[in-house]
Structure 1
């Protein structure tokens, strides 16, 4: 038997609120299945299961906020016996001659009834909670028509609309709360991590020519962007330079064998997340491009998975599309490096004794001086440059 825990989705997360169960006790689960939805400062995040088995029991009720690491449920592994029911406790000897009046048994809700929050709070279905939040309604002020007086979606829809709270929203995300989370993480980073910075201009003439030739024979939806080449080159270079791929925790630096590149995605209206493209070094360029498009689309509507936020081993951020030619980023702890990529621009460059206009991009590296130094950082940037000169081999 193992515990299904409230995950940590970044150094800025301390707790989360369970908003929905997607699996029922007794139901089989497989690795990668979405078991629950948790509300955090980064929005509603789908929480995955990391083992095969059977969901044995819930340990946390819907609507309850619990710290990171709290067991949410128990999962019985494949081949394990089901937990034996608890034996009834022996009744104490009666102190009086007359037996006590028995309490009425609780009435089970009918099949298909919505899951509701515990009696300690407002009883409401997940759909009702979401609708009430969107309309700015106080659940405690609504009369519930569901089982046990629970507030259901119909109760919210029939209630008069309230004046919405003045909060900035985008794709279901509370941007004010997200900004607080970003501020906390970045403040910690600058306090604790001794940053050093390097920059390097990369000639993209070969990569741009290869990309143009490759895309000429493709439909627009299948065309590659230069960003896919950047991610693959970074991933391949990190296989050699392991000091930039991993996590710095209380017991020191732990390099990661897997390379999960967090790709910074801006949210309309403000805010930023950097979900992971898992095993980036093992993917071809078309797969990387497809995953980039998928992540951007799901960030816009706020449907990310827990592993995508918890797993990045390094982050790549680009403001090239905003016209910025260079950027110096802040490391997101517990990671130990972040690469910034600017806009591709034509600049004069000396090539074989001649001055030519060449497409150049400025790449910057922010490294953690506790783990690496400028010498190693320079080698990393030069290897990324070398890989981009042979785009057909990526």
Structure 2
């Protein structure tokens, strides 16, 4: 048996609100299946289960707030094991099946349980059934409740981000490196590619650096990791966190997963999808927790250099600035070239300046061969 616990959806999260279950006791679940919706200071997220099995018991009712990270929310057993549904077991045969919290609420509201029909598995009366009847009794003409829409405040999100960055500054021994990269070949490649595409299908300039990060991480894997209980863990898959600004203010950094396996077109499609779902509040929990490194790009706002703060428990962050035309000397000749300023913030516990320099070198070299990305 395994517990499905309140997940940590970021270094700033200590507790959350269980908004809804997507499963009931007795349901079979598979690895990666969404089974719950959790609200944090940063918004509403769909949360997956990471094992196959059967839901034996839901331990927490939706609506309970400030549930600490790590608190068991449900019990899951291996498929094939006998599952005794707790609500059914608590009632003698032939009697109504009522969840404990629904029974307590019915007593508080004076609701006659014998008049209810349960909406849960095997007709179990749930909290929602009791409150629906009580609400109808108080106001028969009252309209059905609308779906809950979570809109986190910009202030609350900034506080959450500040908490994570404060932890980062206090716990992570940062070191910084910077380099300048000639983007002539990369820009020419993009121009040629976009001539053949519709406006909707065009490649954005950031897609090549994102793919180049994946190439460099395969050569310097020490920067593709995270800390668990003080121990450095390496990620085999390249999951790159990408900072997305939200329309109501604030930032989220969900992960593009498996970037090393994507073509440029696949990566562009994945990026568009991720940005759209981030701003629509439709992210999965794993997309907030699976990144091994983060890329933040502020070049479109005119910023020339970005010196970022590592997002725990990751061990590195890449900052991309604006591509500007500068004098560039090569083979004894001076010419104007489009130049990108790229910075690396890295955790000295996981790597050192030599490894960081090798990473930036591999990153720059990859951008000199855009057709190979």
**TM-score normalised to structure 1 length:** 0.80
Deviations 1:347-389 (A, max 9, x none): 1111222221111110000011122121211110010001111
Q: Secondary structure at the match of 1:334?
A: coil
Unpaired runs of 5+ residues, structure 2, are 93-106
For residue 143 of structure 2, what is the aligned residue in structure 1?
A: 154
State the Cα distance separating 1:306 from its structure 2 match: 0.3
State the Cα distance separating 1:242 from its structure 2 match: 1.8
Q: Secondary structure at the match of 1:25?
A: coil
Going from structure 1 to structure 2, the CA distance change for 1:115 and 1:314 (only over 3 Å counts) comes to farther
Q: Secondary structure at the match of 2:329?
A: strand
Note if contact 1:62-1:115 (Cα within 8 Å) is conserved in structure 2. no
For residue 71 of structure 1, what is the aligned residue in structure 2?
A: 72
For residue 20 of structure 1, what is the aligned residue in structure 2?
A: 20
Deviations 1:186-241 (A, max 9, x none): 01111111111111001111111111111111112222112111111101111121
Matches of 1:152 and 1:27, distance apart in 2: 35
Instruction: State yes or no: 1:350 paired with 2:329.
Output: yes
For residue 2 of structure 1, what is the aligned residue in structure 2?
A: 2
For residue 390 of structure 1, what is the aligned residue in structure 2?
A: 369
Matches of 1:181 and 1:235, distance apart in 2: 28
Instruction: State yes or no: 1:144 paired with 2:123.
Output: no
Matches of 1:46 and 1:362, distance apart in 2: 36
Matches of 1:254 and 1:323, distance apart in 2: 36
Deviations 1:280-331 (A, max 9, x none): 1111111111111111111212111100001111101000111111110001
Note if contact 2:153-2:248 (Cα within 8 Å) is conserved in structure 1. no
Pairs within 5 Å for 1:241-320: 241-320=220-299
Over aligned residues, Cα RMSD in angstroms? Answer: 2.9
Deviations 1:261-290 (A, max 9, x none): 101111124211110111111111111111
Instruction: State yes or no: 1:339 paired with 2:318.
Output: yes
State the Cα distance separating 1:171 from its structure 2 match: 7.5
Q: Secondary structure at the match of 2:143?
A: helix
Going from structure 1 to structure 2, the CA distance change for 1:152 and 1:188 (only over 3 Å counts) comes to farther
Note if contact 2:26-2:83 (Cα within 8 Å) is conserved in structure 1. no
Matches of 2:81 and 2:212, distance apart in 1: 45
Note if contact 2:226-2:315 (Cα within 8 Å) is conserved in structure 1. yes
For residue 235 of structure 1, what is the aligned residue in structure 2?
A: 214
Matches of 2:346 and 2:216, distance apart in 1: 15
Going from structure 1 to structure 2, the CA distance change for 1:124 and 1:180 (only over 3 Å counts) comes to farther
How many aligned residue pairs are there?
347
For residue 102 of structure 2, what is the aligned residue in structure 1?
A: none
Unpaired runs of 5+ residues, structure 1, are 90-102, 126-142, 158-169
Going from structure 1 to structure 2, the CA distance change for 1:228 and 1:280 (only over 3 Å counts) comes to same
Instruction: State yes or no: 1:110 paired with 2:99.
Output: no
State the Cα distance separating 1:87 from its structure 2 match: 8.4
Going from structure 1 to structure 2, the CA distance change for 1:156 and 1:381 (only over 3 Å counts) comes to same
Going from structure 1 to structure 2, the CA distance change for 1:346 and 1:70 (only over 3 Å counts) comes to same
For residue 204 of structure 1, what is the aligned residue in structure 2?
A: 183
State the Cα distance separating 1:249 from its structure 2 match: 3.8
Deviations 1:26-68 (A, max 9, x none): 2332222211111101101111122233322211011112111
**TM-score normalised to structure 2 length:** 0.85
Note if contact 1:205-1:358 (Cα within 8 Å) is conserved in structure 2. yes
311-320 or 28-37, which moves further after superposition?
28-37
Note if contact 2:48-2:285 (Cα within 8 Å) is conserved in structure 1. yes
